[in-house]
């Protein structure tokens, strides 16, 4: 599995930990240890990775979600949460990119969603919003399946049955796409910013058959852009 943050990453990591029956890893998750530190333990070494990529007994899959939903989730759950590394690493940079003298924001005020998107278009990077095509190399790795968060429980059950994992450990979690409940935040984003974001994630839209236009139509946002 190619691990993408903000695509039910925590849920899947907990499931893989349960497959390992590793009490230490389970305790690490329960005590709030950062996910990336736990996932690194489960990840294969580079030599192991090259061995399994083309192996006949390997089932290769990745998980994706609509790029607009993923960005919204990264903003709401990581950047706006003062306890996260994303807040600590990016919040001052976002404020400064919006106002070099840092006078645009009141003390303690959060940058709005459009400021976050502008920051990304200007080079603000993080694994929580890194494009799928950069993280998972779908044009190079011969994946057997792509599971979309929008597929819900039925897609998860299909994958567990297909891989045989479902016979080893029961699936307990229900994966929900909670970010689309706040989709109206995109009403406050200018069309120029939306187009720049689309161009940055264009390969993700095209490779995984997502539509920017259909997404924005839900909230009656019309920019007349070449999506």
Query: Higher-confidence residue: 103 or 7?
Result: 7
pLDDT of residue 191: 93
Q: Both ends of the chain: CA-CA distance in Å?
A: 29
**What whole-number distance in Å separates Cα of residue 101 and Cα of residue 223?**
31
Q: Exposure of 127 by Cβ count < 10 A (0-12 exposed, 13-18 middle, 19+ buried)?
A: middle
Contact of 148 with 208, CB cutoff 8 Å: yes
Phi-psi map region of 8: left, alpha, beta (phi>0 left; psi -120 to 50 alpha): left
Calpha distance 128→83 (Å, rounded): 15
Q: What is the pLDDT of residues 2-39, one digit of tens each?
A: 888 899 887 888 888 788 777 777 666 666 666 666 66
- In angstroms, the CA 64 to CA 35 distance is 18
pLDDT digits (tens, 9 = 90+) for 65-91: 999 999 999 999 999 888 888 989 998
Decide which of 126 and 223 is more confident. 126
Can you give the residue ranges of every domain in the chain? Answer: 9-217
Torsion-angle region of residue 163: left (phi > 0), alpha (psi -120 to 50) or beta? alpha
* Lookup result for tokens 């307990």: 172
Q: How far apart are CA 113 and CA 134, in angstroms?
A: 23
Contact between 223 and 190 (Cβ < 8 Å): no
Contact 215, 66 (CB under 8 A): yes
Which of 75-85 are b and which e, b meaning 16 or more Cβ less than 10 Å from the residue's Cβ?
bbebbbeeebe
Q: How confident is the model at residue 92 (pLDDT cuts 50, 70, 90)?
A: confident
């Amino acid at each position: 599995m190619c691990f993408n943050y903000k695509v039910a990453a925590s849920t899947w990591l907990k499931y893989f930990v349960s497959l390992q029956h590793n009490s230490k890893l389970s305790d690490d998750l329960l005590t709030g240890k950062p996910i990336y530190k736990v996932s690194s333990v489960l990840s294969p070494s580079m030599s192991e990775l090259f061995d399994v990529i083309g192996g006949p007994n390997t089932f290769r899959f990745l998980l994706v979600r609509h790029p607009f939903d993923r960005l919204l989730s990264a903003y709401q759950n990581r950047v706006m949460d003062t306890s996260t590394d994303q807040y600590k690493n990016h919040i001052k940079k976002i404020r400064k990119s919006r106002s070099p003298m840092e006078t645009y924001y009141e003390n303690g005020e959060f940058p709005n969603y459009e400021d976050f998107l502008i920051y990304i278009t200007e080079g603000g990077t993080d694994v929580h919003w890194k494009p799928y095509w950069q993280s998972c190399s779908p044009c190079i790795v011969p994946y057997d399946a792509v599971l979309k968060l929008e597929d819900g429980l039925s897609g998860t059950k299909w994958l567990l049955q297909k891989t045989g994992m479902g016979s080893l450990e029961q699936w307990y979690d229900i994966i929900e796409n909670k970010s689309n409940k706040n989709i109206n935040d995109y009403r406050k984003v200018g069309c120029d910013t939306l187009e720049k974001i689309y161009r940055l994630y264009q390969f993700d839209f095209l490779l995984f058959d997502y539509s920017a236009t259909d997404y924005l139509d839900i909230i009656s946002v019309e920019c007349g852009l070449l999506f």
